[in-house]
Structure formats: structure tokens, C-alpha cells
């Protein structure tokens, strides 16, 4: 960052691909030092780190399964030991389990709840503990338009994202006295690997239902996350920002 402006540190979970990757890169381009969390794809995490460094910011990779509290604690210790602080947490690591309610399995339910709810709670708790001393911080939770719009086959997934919206509001109120803001971003259909794998006729159907007549780009989500993390949104907390091209209207 230019001049004497204080460098801030952001941790993005699930940052090796898709929306998390875009968020990490956008924060790096905005001048944040970025900790790139991954669970299995180390090579992809290295690539994100290199892109951020080429943009002029520092970055590190940090491995952790966010559904494991001990691994989350170790991740937070590693980040703060390396950089001495944590200013922004982006809770993005999660899983989509598309199964109709009559076909849901206990394993699918447990995986979705563990990553999409427990993982967010673990990371938020441990990040807030690191932010308390400075009485300032920002937590951004990745929700989904599925929390606002009924999508067949997403009973479990939409339940977890509805929980994300609720925890966002509650944590915002709890943490406000400590100067920590909490907001959520709810993307609609975004051009990631998951959408790319859809049959062409299904893609055409979804695009026809979107008022803006296109899928969103991961970079558009990243830009909004970077804005929410900035001082431009210093009075914004407890909100769910929906980026869906008008799909949920």
C-alpha cells in the first residue's frame, strides 16, 4: 500500500478456486495482505498467492479444514504469528449438496452442516478473538440466493445459507460494541466450475429467468467483498447483499 497507510490482513477460507479465489485476489488488489486458505488443492492455493504478490501485496497459503475447530485455531495462530494481526475474515469455504428431500442421506446432511454452518461459526469465533484487541475488524459471510429463493434439490444447502443470514445478523449485533462489522454476500448463479458443468439447456433456462440475462462473474463477487472490507462501508453491518442479477426479485 502507498504512503504510510497501515497494511491490513485478510483471511479468505476456501480461497483456492471459484468465488473464494476471486475474493482473495480482489482483496490483494485492494492492498490487503491475504492469507489464502485451502484444504486439499495446494497447487491452486500457490497460484492465488502468486497472483496476489504480482499485484503488489503480500500473501501466504494456510491449510485447514474449517469444520475442525483445532485446525481453525492452528490456522488463526499461523496467520497472526506471520503478520501480527487479522483485520478481515471472509467465510467462503463450503459445500453444495444437491439432493431432493426424499433422497437426502445422513452423510450429505452432516457434511453440509459441518462446513456451511459449524465452519463459519468456528472461523468467526476465532477471528473475533484476534480482532478484539484492536476493537476493529470485519467478517464477511458467503451466503447464497438459495437463502432467499426456493431451488428444488437444495433443502439442506438452502437451510445452511438461511442459517448464515441469521448468524450474520446476530453476530453483527453481538460484535458491534467491539468495533467488528459482520455482513454477508448472497450470490446467485455465478460462472464457476459448478455452473459450467450444467447441461446447456439448463444454463439457457436459468439465464432466461435472470433479469440481467447472464450469469455473474466471480470477480464481481470479489469486488463487492473488497468494498465491504473497506472503510467505505464502515457504517454497514448486519446486512445480506444479494448479487443475483435480479433473479430473486
Identify which of 94, 138, 97, 89 has the alpha carbon closest to the alpha carbon of residue 118: 94
157 is annotated as an active-site residue: yes
Of residues 38, 83, 122, 157, which has the active-site annotation?
157
Specify which residues 180 forms β-bridges with. 137
CA distance 62 to 42: 9
**Residues acting as catalytic residues:** 157
Amino acid at each position: 500500500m502507498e504512503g504510510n497507510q497501515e497494511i491490513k490482513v485478510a483471511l479468505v477460507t476456501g480461497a483456492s478456486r471459484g468465488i473464494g479465489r476471486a475474493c482473495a485476489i480482489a482483496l490483494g488488489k485492494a492492498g490487503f495482505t491475504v492469507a489464502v486458505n485451502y484444504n486439499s488443492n495446494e497447487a491452486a492455493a500457490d497460484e492465488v498467492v502468486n497472483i496476489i504478490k504480482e499485484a503488489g501485496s503480500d500473501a501466504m497459503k494456510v491449510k485447514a479444514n474449517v469444520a475442525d475447530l483445532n485446525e481453525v485455531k492452528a490456522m488463526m495462530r499461523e496467520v497472526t504469528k506471520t503478520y501480527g494481526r487479522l483485520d478481515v475474515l471472509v467465510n467462503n469455504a463450503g459445500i453444495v449438496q444437491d439432493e431432493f428431500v426424499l433422497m437426502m442421506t445422513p452423510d450429505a446432511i452432516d457434511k453440509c452442516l459441518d462446513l456451511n454452518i459449524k465452519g463459519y461459526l468456528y472461523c468467526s469465533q476465532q477471528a473475533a478473538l484476534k480482532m478484539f484487541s484492536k476493537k476493529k475488524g470485519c467478517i464477511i459471510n458467503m451466503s447464497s440466493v438459495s437463502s432467499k429463493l426456493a431451488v428444488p434439490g437444495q433443502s439442506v444447502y438452502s437451510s445452511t445459507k438461511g442459517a448464515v443470514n441469521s448468524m450474520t445478523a446476530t453476530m453483527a449485533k453481538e460484535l458491534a460494541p467491539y468495533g467488528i462489522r459482520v455482513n454477508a454476500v448472497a450470490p446467485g448463479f455465478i460462472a464457476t466450475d459448478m455452473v459450467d458443468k450444467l447441461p446447456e439447456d439448463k444454463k439457457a433456462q436459468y439465464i432466461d429467468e435472470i433479469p440481467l440475462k447472464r450469469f455473474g462473474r466471480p470477480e464481481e463477487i470479489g469486488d463487492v467483498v473488497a468494498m465491504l472490507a473497506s472503510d467505505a462501508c464502515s457504517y454497514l453491518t448486519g446486512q445480506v447483499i444479494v448479487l443475483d442479477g435480479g433473479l430473486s426479485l
